[in-house]
Amino acid sequence: MSNEDLIPEEKFGRDHWSMLAYLETVAVDCAGFQVGLDAYMRHTRRHHRVMPQECPQPKRAKKVLAQFVLTMQPEHGTRLKDGTVLGDHDDFDCLQDLYAAGYFLATTDGVQPGVVLHLSAKGQRVASLLRAHKSAGGAFRNFEMIPATNGSNVSV
């Protein structure tokens, strides 16, 4: 699988699910998630996309100047369900995968800086399952979207 390929949801792992949880929080708190204007997707040791044109002073920059593009180390790429690590696949790529899987609706076509995303009905259901999994002590790495068999989960 190439880093340029969209990752299908059956391969989503820890990084996709933590991204969904984060995006849901921002989307609920801010009535949507505006792509490229959020510091989480530009400034940490793990993520290499820096969009200083859209956000010259990210909230979480921690004294790292936004004009410097950070290059992500391959070992910090996206972790998939089977343990595979995609070296150049970052949070922005995870967001694109979540959008392609139908978790979000966009104000325009596609995911790009400035576009506002809203959770779709599917995104709301999966985020709800994820929250229930986490509040029961589960980890992002072992989250499964399991169809309802015992009444504890909702099928997506």
Q: Assign residue 43 the CATH number of its domain.
A: 1.10.10
Total tally of structural domains belonging to the chain: 1
Within a domain: 2: no
Q: φ, ψ for residue 34 (rounded to 5)? A: -95, 115
Confidence of residue 17 (pLDDT cuts 50, 70, 90): very high
- 121 neighbors 103 (Cβ within 8 angstroms): no
Tens digit of each residue's pLDDT (9 = 90 or more) over 108-145: 777 877 788 899 999 999 999 999 999 999 999 999 98
Does residue 3 surpass a pLDDT of 60?
Answer: no
Whether the model clears a pTM of 0.85, i.e. scores above it, the answer is no
| Domain interval for residue 37 | 9-139
Within a domain: 104: yes
Within a domain: 72: yes
- 51 neighbors 113 (Cβ within 8 angstroms): yes
Q: Which residues pair with 117 in a beta bridge?
A: 33, 106
Confidence of residue 4 (pLDDT cuts 50, 70, 90): low
Q: Average model confidence (pLDDT) for the chain?
A: 74
- 93 neighbors 3 (Cβ within 8 angstroms): yes
